[in-house]
A and B are shown apart, each in its own frame.
Chain A
Amino acid sequence: MSRRLASPVTIVSLIAVLCGALVGHAADPIPIGVSVAQTGPVALAGQEQVLGAQIAEEYFNKRGGVNGRPFKLIFQDAGSDEATAINAYQNQINVAKVVAIIGPSLSQQMFAAGPFAVRAKLPVLGISTTAKGIPQVGEFVSRVSAPVAIVAPNAIKAAMDINKNIKRVVVLYAQNDAFSKSETETFQQAVKDLHLELVTVQTFQTTDTDFTAQVTNTLNAKPDLVIISGLQVDGANLVKQLRELAYKGLIVGGNGLNTTNIIPICKALCDGILVAQAYSPEYKSKINDDFKGIYKDRQKKDPPQFSAQAFTGVQVFVEALGALDKKSPIAKMDLAALRVELNKQLIAGTYDTPLGEISFKASPGGEIVQKQSYVAQIKMDPGGTSGKWVYVK
């Protein structure tokens, strides 16, 4: 059935492609691709990213877009698997003819789709891909999602400030998640560097909901501090079950717990978690206040990190396009040249974003340099339905 449908579709899309090639009018919006996980098990992250990107699209277009010329985000679902991410990329690159792509959501997907951008010579920006090796995929692959290298020791130090007697540490992480696997290595190294005793390392899966066995193993190790690297729902359930089974010590949560989405799960028990943040809603700057205001207006809560990083991704491309346009008008460039020049400009620039001031390393090209990173402690309201991330360090 699909094949019968496919052929007229093909013809029409071919015509669209041919027409697209001739479009170059200065007033046409500049297409920027956004391919994140809108379906599949990772859709919770993707949904937040779409929100952040949409806010950026309206916000920057209202402020004149790219030197007066509007831009347009093209959303193509990258799903939660590698093949769909590649299909989305190919569609963005060859059919939608975008100048740059934001996404996909998972590091594993970027390892698969990234090389396609490298071959097509078009800049792509990871907004939630924190695994080691992402900028090394090649020229044209950058990211605004910082690995937690600096934040991780800070979070542990913050815990040591609160409780001077911390000696025994238990580390738990989601073994099937690239983000958590990379993060836990940093945490475990930091524990050793700070001369703390790593008493046991426990693993779980992001799809797990019951952590009874891990909690028992953790409590048997009599820790003073528990460090968790996981994603939103599993991480929050682990916190909840640790607390319900009478763990009284401090908890440090990785970057995956830096979202208000954990609140429906652990409710009042979220209280007191120290969170390593690549983004803090409390960060004071004009752009973050604006972003936070719009987000809060729509979702009635503080923006999560994924939304802020997606907003930043759009902002970085828009500002790089603007800077490039001032040097040499982009309306006169053909698409291939524009993509290459945009990538150069992207890496050369410095950006004042909701994440703070960021820039990119020249080697490995495209790795983020983020000035601000934060450690916050969650303070829950007595009812347990809302909470605040209070800046600690």
Chain B
Amino acid sequence: MSSSLLLQQVLNGLAIGSVYAIFALGYTLIFSILRIINFTHGAIFTLGAYATYALTGARFGFNGLLANAALPLHLPFVLALIGGALFAAVSGVIVERLAFRPLRTRGSDPLLTLVSSLGVAVALVNVIQYLFGAEAYSYPADPFGQLPSAMNFGTSTEPVLVRTVQVIIFGVSMVVLALLTVLMNATRTGKALRAVAEDTVTASLLGINTDRLILLTFVISGFLGGVSGTLIGLSVGIAGPYFGIAFGLKGLAVIVLGGLGDIPGAVVGGLLIGLAESFVPAQYIAYREAVPFALLFVVLLLRPQGLLGRAVVQKV
């Protein structure tokens, strides 16, 4: 294998993996605090992407209830991105109030939260289709239009190209990882969050407002979902109402591989799966889809707590 091909495959792996990582960061955050899997994350991600689209002033198609609707404003892309992410954060809060908090206060089976979040996800996806139709959308003005569509990491004779938008996604996922790490480890809020994650009851006995912190977790997770939805939408288009749901299954593999609830673990897991997919030899590409899951299966058998996870006795 030539060195330029090797470099190409490594960079491909990081590019694929950073998409999984950025999706998984918001996903894993909820698990790290609440120990539940939030199936609505994919739908919130889609909502964020649609909200950004609307905020840029772009028009919707002719097939939903809001046929041909457009907002009377034309925000620049970065502002629309922030607005879309805020919308996703608010959606996250609403979902927490409606589907998670009632169950938590009744102390019901944690598995049941999985089912209620599933119900909300089904409803949200179909609401999106009902309002905007099933078609794909893309952001009207390309905010990186001035940049070349791919960057060359090789030489001019042996080019090693990576799509610029994927380099940006990689950068953003690293920044988000750094910010989250600082938040969790170096702030009072982070300490309180970790206390809630450790034991909700004890945390509230210590005078920590657990409900407020859980709400904050959903705000951050929703915001990250919105940011990642928009960025991935920029890369591959907003592929209709099932856009985010399509990442759900692999996202689950990513956060478990890295160690459930471990924030750097989500990034490590995402990048590893990306690399594994990238290094599948061309003649075995037909089995590529199984690779992340085979990897997951083997890792779980060898290290049941995931790569970076701590060994804990699971309560189910």
Contact = CB atoms under 8 A, between A and B. Distances in A.
Quick check: do A and B touch in the complex, using CB within 8 A?
A: yes
Interface stretch (A66-74, A202-210, A348-356): A202-210
A245 B286 CA distance: 22
A205 B12 contact: no
A233 B240 contact: yes
B242 A41 contact: yes
Interface stretch (A147-155, A211-219, A331-339): A211-219
Given A245-B161, A245-B163, A44 B62 contact: no
A261 B237 contact: no
Nearest to A217: B282
A44 B134 contact: yes
Contacts of A43: 129, 134, 240-241
Given A39-B126, A47-B134, A265-B136, A237 B237 contact: yes
Given A213-B277, A237-B236, A246 B136 contact: no
Nearest to B5: A220
B289 interface: yes
Interface string A253-268: 0000000010011010
B288 A213 contact: yes
A185 interface: no
B133 A47 contact: yes
Nearest to A45: B134
B8 A216 contact: yes
A94 to B, nearest CB: 26
- Most A C-beta atoms less than 10 A away, residue of B150, B163, B232, B237: B237
A244 interface: yes
A212 B232 contact: no
A175 interface: yes
Nearest to B152: A246
Nearest to B286: A203
Contact of B135 (A44, A210, A213, A300): A44
- Most B C-beta atoms less than 10 A away, residue of A203, A221, A233, A241: A233
A177 B159 CA distance: 34
Contacts of A205: 289
Interface in B1-33: 5, 8-9, 12, 15-16, 19
Contacts of A175: 286
Interface in B37-80: 61-63
B12 to A, nearest CB: 4
B159 A246 contact: yes
A51 B63 contact: yes
Given A41-B242, A244-B163, A209 B278 contact: no
Interface string A263-291: 01101000000000000000000000000
B246 interface: yes
B19 A210 contact: yes
B239 interface: yes
B285 A214 contact: yes
B5 A46 contact: no
Nearest to A264: B138
B149 interface: yes
A109 interface: no
A47 B239 contact: no
A265 B241 CA distance: 15
Nearest to A298: B62
B218 interface: no
A359 interface: no
A224 to B, nearest CB: 18
Nearest to A234: B239
Contacts of A207: 246
Contacts of B195: none
Interface in B115-132: 126, 129
A212 B282 contact: no
B137 interface: yes
Contacts of B8: 216
A82 B207 CA distance: 54
B16 A210 contact: yes
B280 interface: yes
Contact of A299 (B62, B134, B137, B241): B62
Given A44-B136, A216-B9, A265-B138, A209 B236 contact: yes
B16 A264 contact: no
A200 B12 CA distance: 19
Contacts of B235: 209
Nearest to A199: B282
Interface string B231-249: 0100111011110001000
Interface string B278-303: 10101101101100000000000000
A267 B142 CA distance: 11
Given A44-B135, A267-B138, A202 B159 contact: no
Contacts of B62: 298-300
Contact of B237 (A44, A51, A203, A236): A236
Interface string A183-199: 00000000000000000
Contacts of A221: 282
Contact of A209 (B138, B149, B246): B246
Contact of B278 (A213, A261, A299): A213
Contacts of A51: 63
Interface string A238-253: 0011011110000000
A233 B136 contact: yes
B244 to A, nearest CB: 11
A327 B54 CA distance: 56
A107 interface: no
A243 B240 CA distance: 23
A43 B289 CA distance: 24
Interface string A293-318: 00000111000000000000000000
Across the A-B interface, the 3 shortest Cβ-Cβ residue pairs: A43-B134, A217-B282, A209-B236
8 contacts: A39-B129, A209-B236, A210-B236, A217-B282, A233-B240, A244-B149, A261-B136, A300-B62
Interface of B: 5, 8-9, 12, 15-16, 19, 61-63, 126, 129, 133-138, 149-150, 159, 161, 163, 166, 232, 235-237, 239-242, 246, 277-278, 280, 282-283, 285-286, 288-289
Given A221-B282, A265-B136, 11 more contacts: A39-B126, A43-B134, A47-B133, A202-B282, A207-B246, A213-B280, A216-B8, A233-B237, A244-B149, A244-B161, A245-B150
